[in-house]
Amino acid sequence: MGDNRDVSGVRREYQYAGLDRSALSSDPVVQFSHWMDEALAADPGDATSMTLATADATGYPSARIVLLKGFDQQGFTWFTNYRSEKGKQLEENPCAELLFYWKALERQVRIRGRVVPVSREESVEYFNSRPLGSQIGAVASHQSQPIGGRELLEQEVERLTKVGSVECPDHWGGFRLVPERFEFWQGRESRLHDRFRYSATDTGWHVERLQP
């Protein structure tokens, strides 16, 4: 076993901006849209990257980075192989949380809710809009399954490339998280961060400040 590495001295001060209740929209989707616009302006390459946290039927968690492909009042959408680890976990336990971290803006957004598959029509429409290489990759890869070597995957990609076109597999498509809770986090000096939580109620969204 290697030497224990002490990284306790690594620190960062957050000094970009503060966040007041008066600056927040009463609608968290609208507020998220404002922050996404600013994130796209600051770092367009990674603005839509989000951590997707899921858990299996026993409660054991998993997390990975996926890409947000759309959002509106109905929810937040991404696409994947339904037979992947995350797909199987969402089938067993259709609850998840999304986390966006925008380093340049010193901001985080957490979104929790239940997850539902999107319609087959929506999945096919998005699949057909992807570059051919991405389409072939989605068909060639049995996502999350063991493979003997990369050359086997490359051989399947070569075979499908010669075919020239592929159709959206039945086991590939979109998920939509229907939000029940949001948390907007703005970094502040001395770890006294600004945090606001939106919780869904029968009459709308309840907003409250959280201690850092």
Give catalytic residue positions: 191
Nearest to 28 by CA among 212, 209, 207: 207
N residues, the chain: 212
DSSP 95-124: EEEEEEEEGGGTEEEEEEEEEEEPPHHHHH
Tokens standing for 123?
């999945």
Number of H helices, E strands in the chain: 5, 9
Q: From CA 59, how far away is CA 72, in angstroms rounded?
A: 29
Can you list the alpha helix ranges (DSSP code H) found in the chain?
28-42, 85-92, 120-129, 132-140, 150-163
